[in-house]
Structure 1
Amino acid sequence: MPTLSVFTDVPLARKLEGSLLKTYKQDDCPNKMFLAYRACMTKDGSPWVSDVVHKTRLQIAEDPSLDYEYLPTMGMKSFIQASLELLFGKHSHAIMENRVGGVHTVGDSGAFQLGVQFLRTWCRDADVVYIVSSQQEPHGLIFRDMGFTVHEHCIWDPKKLCMDPNILFNVLEQIPSGCVLVVGNIADCKLTQSQWIMFLSTLKSKQIFPFFDVPCQGLHSGDLEEDTKILRYFVSSGFEFFCSQSLSRSFGIYDEGVGVLVVVALHNQHLLCVLSQLMTFAQALWLSPPSTGARIITSILCNPALLGEWKQSLKEIVENIMLTKEKVKEKLRLLGTPGSWDHITQHNGTHGYLGLNSRQVEYLIRKKHIYIPKNGRINFTCVNHNNIDYITQAISEAVFFTRSRENSLPKEKNP
Structure 2
Amino acid sequence: MGYTREEPVERTSLFNHLETMPGDPIFGLMTQYAKDPAEFKASLTIGVYRDEEGKPWVLPTVKKVEKMIAEDAATNHEYLPMEGLPAFVKAAQDLLFGNPSAALSSRIGSLQTISGTGAVHLGARFLNDSLHPKRIWVSDPTWGNHHAIFDIAAPEVEQKLYPYYDAETCSLNFSGMMKTLEEEAQAGDLILLHACAHNPTGIDPTKEQWKQIADLCEKKKLFPFFDSAYQGFASGDVDEDAWAVRHFISRGTLELVVAQSFSKNFGLYGQRVGAFHIVAGDEQARDKALSHLIYLQRAEISNPPVYGARIVAWILQTPELKAEWEQDLLIMSGRIKTMRAALYAELQKLQTPGSWEHIVNQNGMFSYTGLSEKQVLALRKEHIYLLTSGRASISGLNRDNVALVAKAIDKVVRASGDAPAPAITA
TM-score range with shorter-chain normalisation?
A: over 0.9
Distance 2:115 2:279 in 1: 21
Deviates more, 1:143-152 or 1:327-336: 143-152
Structure 1 residue 349 and structure 2 residue 358: aligned? Answer: no
Structure 1 residue 128 and structure 2 residue 138: aligned? Answer: no
Distance 1:26 1:40 in 2: 21
CA separation of 1:249/1:71 partners in 2, compared to 1, >3 Å: closer, same or farther? same
Partner of 1:184: 194
Partner of 2:14: 6
CA contact (8 A) 1:162 1:343 kept: yes
Partner of 2:213: 199
Structure 1 residue 93 and structure 2 residue 107: aligned? Answer: no
User: Unmatched 5+ residue regions in structure 2?
Assistant: 1-8, 420-426
Q: How far off is 1:111 after superposition?
A: 0.7
CA contact (8 A) 2:139 2:192 kept: yes
Q: How far off is 1:136 after superposition?
A: 3.5
Q: How far off is 1:23 after superposition?
A: 1.7
Structure 1 residue 234 and structure 2 residue 248: aligned? Answer: yes
User: TM-score normalised to the size of structure 1?
Assistant: 0.92
Q: How far off is 1:25 after superposition?
A: 2.0
Q: How far off is 1:167 after superposition?
A: 3.2
Deviation per CA, 1:121-174, whole angstroms, max 9, x where unpaired?
1112x1211112653431221212222211234622221111221232133122
Query: What amino acid is the match of 1:371?
Result: Y
Distance 1:214 1:134 in 2: 16
CA separation of 1:399/1:184 partners in 2, compared to 1, >3 Å: closer, same or farther? same
Partner of 1:119: 127
Aligned partner of residue 36 in structure 1, secondary structure: coil
CA separation of 1:97/1:319 partners in 2, compared to 1, >3 Å: closer, same or farther? closer
Q: How far off is 1:94 after superposition?
A: 6.1
Distance 2:218 2:364 in 1: 30
Residue in structure 2 matching 1:15, options 17, 23, 27: 23
Partner of 1:409: none
Aligned partner of residue 116 in structure 2, secondary structure: coil
User: TM-score normalised to the size of structure 2?
Assistant: 0.90
Q: How far off is 1:231 after superposition?
A: 0.8
CA contact (8 A) 1:41 1:382 kept: yes
Structure 1 residue 335 and structure 2 residue 328: aligned? Answer: no
Q: How far off is 1:71 after superposition?
A: 0.4
Distance 1:139 1:161 in 2: 22
State how 1:374-393 maps to structure 2 within 5 Å. Answer: 374-393=388-407
Partner of 1:63: 72
Partner of 1:310: 325
User: Unmatched 5+ residue regions in structure 1?
Assistant: 406-415
Structure 1 residue 223 and structure 2 residue 237: aligned? Answer: yes
Partner of 1:272: 287
Q: How far off is 1:184 after superposition?
A: 2.8
Query: What amino acid is the match of 1:144?
Result: D
Q: How far off is 1:97 after superposition?
A: 4.3
Distance 1:233 1:161 in 2: 26
CA contact (8 A) 1:72 1:288 kept: yes
Identity of aligned residues (%): 31
CA separation of 1:3/1:362 partners in 2, compared to 1, >3 Å: closer, same or farther? closer
Aligned partner of residue 317 in structure 1, secondary structure: helix
CA separation of 1:315/1:133 partners in 2, compared to 1, >3 Å: closer, same or farther? farther
Distance 1:149 1:167 in 2: 20
Aligned partner of residue 150 in structure 1, secondary structure: strand
Aligned partner of residue 101 in structure 1, secondary structure: strand
Distance 1:358 1:404 in 2: 12
Moved over 6 A (4+): none
State how 1:19-98 maps to structure 2 within 5 Å. Answer: 19-90=28-99, 92-93=100-101, 97-98=105-106
Deviates more, 1:28-37 or 1:67-76: 28-37
Partner of 1:137: 144
Q: How far off is 1:190 after superposition?
A: 3.9
Deviation per CA, 1:29-82, whole angstroms, max 9, x where unpaired?
222221112111111111222110011011111211122110011111110110
Structure 1 residue 297 and structure 2 residue 304: aligned? Answer: no
Aligned partner of residue 255 in structure 1, secondary structure: helix
Partner of 1:261: 276
Distance 2:130 2:162 in 1: 26
Query: What amino acid is the match of 2:129?
Result: T
CA separation of 1:191/1:220 partners in 2, compared to 1, >3 Å: closer, same or farther? same
What is the number of equivalent residue pairs in this alignment? 402
Q: How far off is 1:186 after superposition?
A: 4.0
Distance 1:153 1:175 in 2: 10
Distance 1:400 1:95 in 2: 59
Deviates more, 1:198-207 or 1:323-332: 198-207
CA contact (8 A) 1:94 1:235 kept: no
Deviates more, 1:241-250 or 1:11-20: 11-20
